[in-house]
Structure 1
């Protein structure tokens, strides 16, 4: 947006601006916003704040955000105040085994799983949220160890081939003598 000026005549009636301005972004162009200034008036004096109020708390900086077991997201500030920002809902399914895996950690509902039923964490039938905790490993340790042993054997075989090649090259050099 650009700076602008609203002008009123001596009786307080609106003189300008035009009631349209354009908005453009990287993805959308040509949007026009119509603003209705028709009800705006001004007295023949300089602008001044007539009223201001404060909630009694001093200014505070954001210290952190926390998530409770029931999904409540709270922001805490350096002035000691805390504000609830929202709540995380959790989903439950008739059959969790019927969910279809999408990638490593995403799941999609299917006809076998049934539709998602949303609810509050901690309510009957829904689990709790453990913010800040780590999930169990999603790696199959047996498969990874078998792959590691196979890679080690391949490395040993390649090292033996290089050693044999070096010994043969040395023997050929000694024969030519």
Structure 2
């Protein structure tokens, strides 16, 4: 998943898990060489990228297919009949989370389904109660903490607010905070 913050992010993340795949979210600000390294290192064969990243991702030559999100090709993927969910065990990998590589090459840290489940429980206990009465503001990359914490908010039917800028623009953030009182981020 090579996406700037977008509404399709969780659709794709949960779609990976539904299909029994391991999601490999990547920071949209990385250099194409870093993408290529992570594609090869993770064994990724398919990528989903926002329009501004498609050329850089496809240009690595490391993936068999790159689907632009949103696009007509992406919409066609959603037209099919639902497929059954693949059974997964708690210890099965769910998310391959790459470090920034500050001490060398980025390293993939495997997060299991059980890890994500435990994180959600701890989030509600230690960070923030959540529910349909509140919202999470995704001002930080959804490929990192914002996306991971957002999973807990999905479980509680919270509103997900994704800035149109797909990032942190102070004026936009202040406006969203005003519109969504009590928003978490």
Superposition TM-score, scaled by structure 1 size: 0.20
Greater Rg by CA: 1
Q: Which one has the bigger helix percentage?
A: 2
Superposition TM-score, scaled by structure 2 size: 0.20
Q: Which one has the bigger strand percentage?
A: 1
Greater RCO between the two (CA within 8 Å, min separation 6)?
2
